Amino acid sequence: MFIYPELNELLNEYNKVRTYTFFVYGVPTEEHIEIINRGLYYRVVAGTKIVKERTVLIVETIDEEQANFLGCYQGTKLIFAFAQNDIDGELIQGTILEGLEYLRFKCEFVGTRETEANV
């Protein structure tokens, strides 16, 4: 189970969700996020049978108060979720990092998590 309702809905509908979490030391705009999504689509989705309804993007801003509480820095957490198994995880990770670096954001890959319903 996830703390984000959108991810739980995806999990309930498709039974398995894989997430890729990134931390960005800054606040990307909607335009920045759209550029990342476009790059992800052209590099990953175009070569894979990804159904758009099976993907979710969570954008969470970490402000100063939250950063102090969590013992981290201010910035933005990006969680890309896919309800499919046939995706090249390294390609997804590399594409997102490359896009963020292209946009001149300092960022890091936090990790991947795969969750199955009723397990």
Residue pLDDT, tens place only, 11-67: 888 888 899 999 999 999 999 999 998 888 888 766 666 565 578 899 999 999 999
When comparing pLDDT for 106 and 119, which is higher?
Answer: 106
In this prediction, residues 64-86 reach a mean pLDDT of 90
Taking the C-alpha atoms of residue 18 and residue 34, their distance in angstroms, rounded to an integer, is 21
Q: Which amino acid is at 93?
A: Q
- The CATH number covering residue 38 comes to 3.30.70
Question: Is the per-residue pLDDT at 116 higher than 80?
Answer: yes
pTM metric for this prediction:
0.87
Residue 117 in any domain: the answer is no
Please give the share of the chain, as a percent, with pLDDT higher than 70. Answer: 89
Q: Reduced to 3 states, what is the DSSP secondary structure of residue 118?
A: coil
Q: For residue 104, give both structure tokens.
A: 């001149």
What is the domain range of residue 24? Answer: 5-111
Domain count, the chain: 1
In this prediction, residues 54-82 reach a mean pLDDT of 92
DSSP-derived letter for residue 44 is: T
